[in-house]
Amino acid sequence: MIEAQDLTKRYGDKLAVDHLSFKVEPGRVTGFLGPNGAGKSTTMRLILGLDRPNTGTATIDGRRYAELAQPLRTVGALLEAKAMHPGRSARNHLLFLAETQGLPSRRVDEVLDLVGLRDVARHRVRGYSLGMSQRVGIAAAMLGDPSVLLLDEPVNGLDPEGILWIRNLMKHLASERRTIFVSSHLMNEMAVTADHLIVIGKGKLIAESSTQEFIERSSEKSVLVRSPDAEALAGLIAAEGGKAIPQDPAEGRAAALSVTGLDAPRIGEIAAANRIVLHELAPQLGSLEEAFMEMTADSVEYGGDTPAVPQETAASTTSPGSSQ
């Protein structure tokens, strides 16, 4: 388990992490979500003892990282920034790490097999693609068969096949009761990978909940109803406790209502009971990415002018997690 308590990190007069507290439980993938510059990488560096917090503590299974005798056997980490000498081969990079932990060199070959880099392991890292470098980083993280894994933007630079691979790897490792803490700035990626979400913005905790809860809460649920008798239907919906907002009528089509407070089946039942014809009955889900952007809108570090979202896109039906 990873526990952050009241973590604050200041670089000069810039506050990167602001009194941040959270827990990362074992047995599930915990997503660490936030826009660029939100303080995700800094938080991970504080947990790993690379940077020193101004206030607060971060512990792994109750101990500070620096107190771990053979840290790679407890914690594996993939950092966002490169942490390898480009002139050294992947094998030698992993070998020296293994030697610091008293691990046998055959363990290096095992993790190279795991990430599928055995054939190129004796080449210098300089010639590797971004995806291959990521794999070396993952191999390094897995070297000590750790019970806790911190992965900072692991899908960066990976092709779709690689993304799928790492997603499955993380789920598999979580199923073995390991603690998996993975950062991303992509909501949709986290929606399909993480079981639990910690959302930060400008170094502060914005939300913490299960992914399912997050999706349900942040996708505003409304139902689009189209009927030639929209006015009468609006009255019945209001009587049932729902809220119906008339939509701009489309040419040649029946009037439309945007209904909140009642779900689609209930609206259908009301219409049937009152013999009202329906032309359309469509549940609307806001996209998860939109919800995430809305949630973190106030805390985007490097905001440009957001181009106006075309009406069509904003109203389009998106089921959570389906978009990739």
Q: Please, what sign has the CA dihedral across residues 252, 257, 258, 259?
A: negative
Residue 103 near another protein by CB under 8 A = yes
| Smallest distance from another protein to CB 33, Å | 23
Residue 58 near another protein by CB under 8 A = no
CA distance 90 to 139: 9
Alpha-carbon distance values, 187 to 71, 234, 324 (Å): 30, 35, 10
Residue 81 near another protein by CB under 8 A = yes
Residue 102 near another protein by CB under 8 A = yes
Burial class for 278, CB neighbours closer than 10 Å (0-12, 13-18, 19+): middle
Question: Which of 129, 274, 317, 319 is the binder for another protein (CB under 8 A)?
Answer: 129
| Smallest distance from another protein to CB 160, Å | 12
| Interaction mask 8-47, another protein, x per CB under 8 A | -------------------------------------x--
C-beta of 167 vs 226, nearer to another protein: 167
| Smallest distance from another protein to CB 30, Å | 18
Question: Which of 2, 37, 58, 65 is the binder for another protein (CB under 8 A)?
Answer: 65
Residue 79 near another protein by CB under 8 A = yes
CA distance 149 to 265: 44
Angle (nearest 5°) at CA 311 between 307 and 315: 120
8 Å CB contact between 138 and 78 = yes
Which region among 21-29, 49-57, 177-185, 300-308 touches another protein (by CB under 8 A)?
49-57
Interface with another protein: number of residues (CB under 8 A): 66
| Smallest distance from another protein to CB 197, Å | 22
8 Å CB contact between 76 and 140 = yes
Chain mean position to CA 280: 34
Alpha-carbon distance values, 262 to 223, 224, 259 (Å): 8, 11, 7
Which region among 25-33, 111-119, 202-210, 230-238 touches another protein (by CB under 8 A)?
111-119
Residue 192 near another protein by CB under 8 A = no
Phi-psi region of 217 (alpha: psi -120 to 50; beta: other; left: phi over 0): alpha
Alpha-carbon distance values, 93 to 98, 258, 278 (Å): 9, 59, 66
Secondary structure class of 14 (helix, strand, coil): strand
Question: Which of 27, 36, 99, 272 is the binder for another protein (CB under 8 A)?
Answer: 99
The strand order across the sheet containing 221-226 reads 243-246, 256-260, 221-226, 280-285
| Smallest distance from another protein to CB 293, Å | 31
Q: 230-239 and 264-273 helices cross at what angle (nearest 10)? A: 110
| Interaction mask 130-149, another protein, x per CB under 8 A | -xx--x----x-x-xx----
C-beta of 126 vs 253, nearer to another protein: 126
Residue 168 near another protein by CB under 8 A = yes
Chain residues in the site for another protein (CB under 8 A): 45, 48-52, 65-66, 68-73, 77, 79, 81-89, 92-93, 95-97, 99-104, 107, 110-111, 113-120, 123, 127-129, 131-132, 135, 140, 142, 144-145, 161-162, 165, 168-169, 172-173, 176
